[in-house]
Structure 1
Amino acid sequence: MHENNSQETLRLVNVTRYVMPLREGGSLPALADADDGFSYVLKFKGAGQREKALVAELIGGELARRLGFKVPELVFANLDEAFGRSEGDEEIQDLLKSSQGLNLALHFLSRALTFDPGASQVDEYLASRIVWFDAWITNVDRTFRNTNLLIWNKELWLIDHGASFLFHHSWENWEKQALSPFGVVKDHVLLPWATELERVDAEMKAQISRELICRVLEMVPEEWILASRDTETAAEAREVYAAFLMKRMNNSSVFVNEAKDARKALI
């Protein structure tokens, strides 16, 4: 497991049973059981965007938790090399083989309901905070088509941040990306309720520090960061993520104004 000088890390579980794929698509997340007796939504490093999706999932999910959002517990999930040999589906067997070792999983919220924007009311302050957060981390995947929000115990829970941090797919232009207005905010499922973006902008910036960001970045396994060979060292990559997030926060008016303008266009 990733060597971490900090006391903060995720729990490690061993996957004991592949239960079922959860939806069609490139990433093929699965419902799986682990040796701690709980069920998890397992995200595979061998899928679609490979380790980059897990890096984004961990950073996005843990930042969200530390900023007070409801997020299912994230854990490191170990896949033994013998796991999945009896799996009949060839595509799934290939996925399991290419994902041996350390993966990421979210605690499965049993009986949670998918958020339905047509049948739900959302607190405007919470909606504004989520829209701000997603624009900050450039999360493109919280739309009407795929809300990535669950209702569990009558509360709104955030899931699936693997499509965040667009810049890390084209590493060289991260500074330009940090100043982008994030035009896809117009498709955000909670934008119609996001009436308090200015208030939230000030509050979120007061909550976020470089120290908080760096604590989360230290949780990301070096093997995931270095898998794509974008940087020579994990420390260098972490510095870019931290600089991106700080630069984006310090220029938040760029994406806040974009969100406000997009919201006006809805009315």
Structure 2
Amino acid sequence: MGASAAPLLGDDKEFLMTAGDFDEIAELALKHTGIVLGRHKANMVYGRIARRLRQLGYQCFADYLKFLRENFSQESTNFINLITTNLTSFYREPHHFEYLEKTVIPGLKQKSDRKVRIWSSGCSIGQEAYTIAFCLGKAAFPSSWDVKILATDLDSNVLDKGRAGIYPADSANSVPQDVFQSYLMRSKDQKNIRVKDSMRNLVHFKRLNLLEQWPMKGQFDVIFCRNVVIYFNRDTQKKLFNRYADFLPVGGHLFIGHSESLNGLTDRFESVGNTIYRKKY
């Protein structure tokens, strides 16, 4: 048995996944999502795709990959949804939202065109985008202003959850009490919370593959791209950060994740805080 045909995770697994199977999955993930999957991700990949094997009644990963190759246009969305990672929470990395409220938004309220655009890129189930909405809500922009948040993700399933704006009650533990009272409500059984319509109406959820053409026409005042590029290789990161710069005006802000950095990737931004950048040119 060649190395690529040997079981990658041992014989005790429900489904056989060979090294060759994993390499094909990793190649497809890189090509279609930009995500880099090393062998240390084998257990994660197995756990996610095994669910799809059960749904389809397949006995091994090779059978699923054959199906995927023959039906990629129909199955690609399911495959991408399984591969992408969707960890998020309200007020994650709270210093970002403190800076947004105290420094960025006061500047936005001075804009002469009375138009505000913020992009939550890689928005997952929407808690980041809604936290941005809470900050905008507290700023009390006049009703005559045109204020919108774009929330995009590759995974269509998480976008549906974001649009619904319904989350487990304990997910609101990080939300300040005054914000909760203003913008969230509990379900009758107290098990869930729901984002009020005043905030949901600010956020527009759209599916977007960051590696493909971006359909947006105008620029954004602020872009959040947090804990997204860590899954990409450096060449993809360089392209992505420079594309973000193209969609920001000089002085526009970019927020990235706590384990990410622009160092060596682009010189079009200056650091103005912990993982907070402002466009220079």
Q: What is the TM-score with the length of structure 1 in the denominator?
A: 0.27
Structure with greater Cα Rg: 2
Higher relative contact order (CA 8 A, sep 6+): 1
